[in-house]
């Protein structure tokens, strides 16, 4: 009996709730549904949406075609260029040479007839270094490529200061002390002929001294022979264009030889001017005249 009484009391409590309290959850649900329906945009007509959809698809199609076709075309162009004759070495020329043979520079570059231009473009610095290492008479060397496959080596030589006479063969002597290996048929220009010199300390000393002499004295010198006596390894005999001869020391030429016009004027006839230690002159005898 007690159980039924409790159940009856619980039912009475539920009946005692206000009707408004019972429908509140349902009301909140309806309010939320109305708000959601208000935010939904009205559907646009199919005729308005369809053209825009087609335009969007066309844009996407064009973009995809570009992404695929552009790399493919570039690849085809590259392959066509790589197998064509213009991708390989064509005409080769050298600019800036006066003393050194053009073929010498081309040979030391290592460039071959069938080399690809793209390979040479990657190795430009290496090629320049190889030329300078193989041809010491050059200050600079640069490879330029034009018209797809035309090669030009632009070089700068050291200045030529004279010719070395070795067993009646002449070799160009450059201002950096290099003696070129190519034989010259005969000396050209107003440059002195050297004898008895080899590449090294004494030749470098002479070049340094010669470059510091007045230009007028340089032009007066015809030949310079390294006589290097036992007493003086730096002794030289200088043959002047006016037919006088000068005995001198390489170490004092720069100081004494600029006064040569004064010494020559003091001579009454052609002879020898000795400025090796002091300064004195004497005319040629039959035994000393060249």
**Structure tokens belonging to residue 263:** 């010494």
Query: What is the arithmetic mean of pLDDT over 187-203?
Result: 93
Query: What is the arithmetic mean of pLDDT over 240-248?
Result: 95
DSSP lists the bridge partners of residue 93 as 152
User: What is the reported pLDDT for 29?
Assistant: 67
Higher pLDDT, 214 or 48: 214
User: What is the reported pLDDT for 4?
Assistant: 46
Give the model's confidence band at 290: pLDDT under 50 very low, under 70 low, under 90 confident, else very high. very low
Nearest Cα to 271, choosing from 223, 231, 234, 239?
Answer: 239
User: What is the reported pLDDT for 71?
Assistant: 84
User: Mean pLDDT for the chain?
Assistant: 84
Higher pLDDT, 40 or 241: 241
Domain 160-283 has CATH 2.40.128.20: no
Q: Is 90's pLDDT higher than 80?
A: yes
Tell how strand 193-195 and strand 221-226 pair up: parallel
Domain 87-157 has CATH 3.10.20.310: yes
The pLDDT > 90 percentage for the chain reads 54
Higher pLDDT, 53 or 102: 102
Higher pLDDT, 58 or 130: 130
User: What is the reported pLDDT for 24?
Assistant: 63
The string of pLDDT tens digits covering residues 158-180 is 999 999 999 999 999 999 999 99
Query: What is the arithmetic mean of pLDDT over 38-47?
Result: 52
The string of pLDDT tens digits covering residues 3-30 is 445 555 555 555 455 555 556 666 666 6
Output the pTM of the full model.
0.70
Fold agreement (87-157, 160-283): no
Non-local (6+) Cβ contacts of 272 within 8 A are 244, 245, 246, 247, 281, 282, 283, 284, 288
**Structure tokens belonging to residue 120:** 């040479």
Give the model's confidence band at 95: pLDDT under 50 very low, under 70 low, under 90 confident, else very high. very high
User: What is the reported pLDDT for 43?
Assistant: 52
* Sequence spans of domains, the chain: 87-157, 160-283
The region of weakest confidence among 82-86, 91-95, 207-211 is 82-86
The pLDDT > 70 percentage for the chain reads 79
Q: What is the DSSP string of 127-144?
A: HHHHHHHH-TTEEEEEEE
Nearest Cα to 158, choosing from 129, 178, 144, 133?
Answer: 178
Q: Is 250's pLDDT higher than 60?
A: yes
């Amino acid at each position: 009996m007690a159980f039924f009484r409790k159940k009856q009391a619980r039912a009475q409590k539920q009946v005692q709730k206000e009707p408004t309290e019972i429908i509140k959850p349902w009301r909140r649900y309806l309010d939320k549904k109305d708000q959601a329906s208000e935010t939904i945009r009205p559907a646009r007509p199919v005729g308005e949406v369809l053209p825009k959809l087609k335009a969007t698809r066309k844009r996407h199609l064009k973009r995809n075609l570009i992404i695929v076709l552009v790399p493919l075309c570039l690849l085809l162009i590259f392959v066509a260029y790589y197998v064509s004759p213009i991708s390989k070495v064509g005409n080769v020329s050298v600019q800036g040479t006066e003393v050194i043979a053009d073929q010498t520079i081309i040979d030391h570059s290592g460039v071959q007839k069938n080399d690809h231009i793209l390979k040479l473009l990657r190795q430009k610095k290496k090629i320049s270094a190889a030329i300078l290492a193989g041809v010491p008479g050059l200050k600079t060397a640069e490879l330029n490529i034009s018209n797809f496959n035309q090669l030009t080596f632009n070089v700068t030589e050291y200045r030529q200061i004279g010719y070395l006479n070795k067993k009646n063969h002449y070799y160009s002597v450059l201002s950096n002390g290099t003696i070129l290996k190519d034989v010259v048929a005969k000396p050209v220009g107003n440059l002195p002929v050297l004898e008895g010199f080899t590449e090294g300390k004494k030749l470098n000393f002479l070049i340094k001294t010669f470059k510091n002499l007045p230009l007028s004295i340089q032009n007066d010198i015809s030949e310079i022979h390294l006589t290097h006596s036992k007493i003086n390894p730096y002794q030289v005999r200088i043959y002047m264009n006016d037919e006088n001869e000068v005995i001198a020391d390489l170490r004092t030429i720069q100081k004494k030889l600029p006064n040569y016009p004064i010494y020559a004027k003091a001579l009454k006839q052609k002879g020898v001017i000795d400025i090796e230690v002091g300064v004195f002159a004497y005319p040629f005898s039959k035994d000393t005249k060249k």
